[in-house]
Structure 1
Amino acid sequence: STVLLVSVNVFALRGLGVVPHNYLTTYGFFAAAAIEAILYSFALADRVRRLRTEHSGLTRRAAELTSMSMTDELTGLYNRRFFDRVLPTSIDHARATMKPLSLVYVDLDGFKQLNDSRGHACGDTVLRIVGAIIRANVRGGDYPCRIGGDEFALILPGAHATEARLTAERIREGIEQKRVIPPLRAGVRDHAVPDAEGCSDEMPTSTATGPLVKSVSIGVAELNGEETAQLLINRADRAMYRVKAGGGNGSEIDPA
């Protein structure tokens, strides 16, 4: 800007006859203006680059915050907020595309007994293990959610009830085979639990004769007609409680 200001003054003085007419005084102003424009373009390009970098960082941070607000911190699955938001839109999409959609409800058998006897730290470990088993047995386009306590819900777009039950059975068998919490024997202090750091310290004695959490009860419901999200939830929940009332460790499809 200083070069441009000097060249403007020289150009004006040339016009007044104060300085002689020559190549420098005649074209210096235009040369300075061109140089100034080039310098400004470089500065502007650098500023645009900085703004893009800042915008990219803000966008990435916003995406991280959104993900955090929709993710269950304990299990890494989606949370209740995500479930409440995505289920209605998934239902609308299923109707618009005329494709099936199923909802799977999962509830741990004996989880309250686990929390009461071994504490919430151990319960949290079990929930993390169950979350990992669920995540390992769903498809890429499915939405596994922890909706509260020891309750999980899976939104399965494009899946009929029979397909959803196969997923439910894989999860049930995975948990049964894992036997998330090993048996407690009367009068014997339990051993450390592999992959269950919250359960490994100073296990209490117990009169329990079997694993505290060895199974899950699962209900499956397929979207039917024009039913609402709440009606679909009620049907999956009802099927799950029928399994639990029958002793647990099973899955059932709610009739359409």
Structure 2
Amino acid sequence: MFKRISNLFKGFFGLFIGGIERKNPEALLDVEKENLRKQIVEFNKGLATHAGLVERLLSQSKKLEAEENDLRARTKAMLTAGQRETAAEYALRLQTVDKQHDEVAAQLADAETRYKELIRARDVSVKNAREKMEKLRRDIDDMKVQKAMAELNEMASGMVTSIGGSGDTLSRLSEIVEDERTKAAGRARVSRDSLNMSDIHVQEAEQKALADMALADFAAAEGIAMDEPAKKEAEAPSQESQGTMGPSVSQ
């Protein structure tokens, strides 16, 4: 039972972490870069330790080589001097040192080979990891571009749908405006037809006559002669009356 509950919590936790990773892949990539940096640091520490071993073997090999040369010279000198017993002791020590030197030289060769292999393996691994991370970085950028394009396309599609859906509203509004315009034009025509133009003409004539009378009073008060314009104005209606009455008289 507890194991099942533990697995359930692990599953929920995994889903939660997976959701966070999907929402922010750049943060996960930065974490992996930091992990790679730490791994490189630890690997370099191991390489430094191995390099120290190589240097120690190299120093030991040089010492054994120097001791070997010294014992060879001593053995030769003692043998030449006829001191066979001492020469034999030097020869025995020379054998031991020579054997140790060969072992150390073999270890040194192996250590150097291993060191170079480790460096090559580190460089190749780091290069591959960096190439993968760089590819992931480009993929993330491309994913952002694709998401942005998808959002723009969805927005554009929604706008087209909304604009297309507003056609009924625009048509209804156009009908309302046209109906109101027609009603207003009809009211204007009715009011114009109902206007009594004869009364307006009469009022206009009365206003003109009053103005002429006022002008005549002003001219009389100021001593200005107004006979000729008055005669012309008086003759005009008489000529019109003669023109209309002439044919009837001749008949």
TM-score normalised by length of structure 2 = 0.29
More helix by percentage: 2
Please identify the structure whose Cα radius of gyration is greater: 2
